[in-house]
Amino acid sequence: MPSDKDCAKFVWSDYYLTEATSVAFQNLYNNTDGLLDSWAAFWAKTAAEFKSFSNVIGYELINEPWAGDIYANPLLIVPKVADKMNLAPVYEVLSKAIRQHDEEHCIFFEGITWDDFGVGFDTVPGGELYRNRSVLSYHYYIPPSLALIENFGARKKDLERLKCGGMMTEFLTSAGEIEPMFKTMDAADMYLQSWIGWEYKAYHPSRPNLKGNRRSALWNGTGLDQIYVQNTTRTYPQAVAGYTVKFRFDLTSKEFVLVYEVSETCHATESVVYLNEEVHYPSGYTVTVTPSSVKWSSATKNMLTFNHPTSLPVGACREEHQRDPNEYWHYKRYNGPQGHVSARTVASVAPLEWELQKIVQQFATIQLKSCMTLDVENCHSTVHIKQVNMSMMEYARSFEFTMKESVKKATQWAAFHHTSRKYGSQNQRRPYHFLKSI
């Protein structure tokens, strides 16, 4: 067995190009010496042990699979070919082993890493019956991936064709070179994709070629890396009771926007939004919801729930928004195709009522830190979350002037700190994890 020092003599990716690696992967796919049987037995055992864990979202069959023996069959290098010839049959075997013990958790499946123009799978592991419990796993790195938007566009076409979920399960996160990371996160929001970041851990054995920002991830050896935490924790929807039209989080302003439509195929009425109060809203936030038939609550820290009534009609609508310096968000809406009624929910979370802002703006600059929006026309709701700038509040109070009663109430309301209460036990509210075979 070679040591870490021996392995570090070459870049890790170079080992993939060796004939030994290609043959080893092909032996696994071909079930040589019962390798595939053992792999399936591993996943069967794993599913049997973890099927009752509500904080496990699913099982990823293999991370970054190699194409197989590219020397015996060079066509495997061609995108999509290895997916169809090697991976798809293997995934059927593995999914069958898992489904014998666990019918509910998601199965994450991945193509070769250079499927830039789409994956070669014709269906999800297990077939059409499991589309709603299957997730196409993909990574984004340059190289080998295409440009950012083109990459997400290709994945969107894959998801529409396979009719399954999708998740970007790797991309480079960093506490140093952060702009590319932000662009990737914003693109993931735009394409409604969840993500998992990758970085070498500080507790990993010393590697000469990993220095500075590339060495540190969430933990830097002495504790949490606060720069990393601030830049990677984001407000996002954990569950949406309908069809998600769009969501977006602005790390600078802390504004969050979510738009969804009521769907006849979704019978749930509760949507769940996660927000990191300590990091992004340390002085609190405000929430307003329209119409009044859509209710919101926060039974525990960092969680907001929105419930729309069952009377909200199913419909279809399109929405465009633009940022206006004097308003939060402007919406252009129409009622959808003939015979349909717009069924949309809008929410905003903001720091301070505008009336209070107008009075104190002559004394201090008000910083708007967040806004989350769901939109509703006829059957659409809106919520705003904005951070309260407490230093500004204290500054405003230092002036001797008489406030109107409404302003007093607004001040008290804006300074309100969110308290933790007993929280419900629905599975979709809990932190999710998935098991990954590497």
- Catalytic amino acids? 64
Alpha-carbon span 164 to 155, nearest angstrom: 11
Instruction: Indicate the burial class of 211 (C-beta count within 10 angstroms; 0-12, 13-18, 19 or more).
Output: exposed
Neighbours of 293 (CB within 10 A): 14
261-268, Cβ contacts within 8 angstroms, sequence gap of 24 or more: 261/315, 261/316, 261/317, 261/342, 261/343, 261/344, 262/308, 262/312, 262/313, 262/314, 262/315, 262/343, 262/344, 262/345, 262/379, 263/314, 264/314, 266/241, 266/242, 268/239, 268/241
CA atoms in the 13 A half-sphere facing the CB of 313: 11
Render the burial of 344-364: b for 16+ CB within 10 Å, e for the rest. Answer: bbbbbbbbbbeebbebbeeeb
Sign of CA dihedral 49, 53, 55, 61: positive
Strand duo 256-261 + 330-333: pairing? unpaired
Strands (E), 193-297: 194-195, 236-239, 243-249, 256-261, 270-274, 286-290, 295-297
Contact 169, 140 (CB under 8 A): no
Q: Is 288 helix (H, G, I), strand (E, B) or coil?
A: strand
Strand, coil or helix: what is 159? helix
In this structure, are residues 294 and 263 in contact, taking their beta carbons and an 8 Å threshold? Answer: no
- 217 to each of 13, 213, 222, 358, 376, how far by Cα in Å? 21, 8, 12, 42, 40
Q: Are strands 303-307 and 134-140 parallel, antiparallel or unpaired?
A: unpaired
Are the C-beta atoms of 245 and 261 separated by less than 8 Å? yes
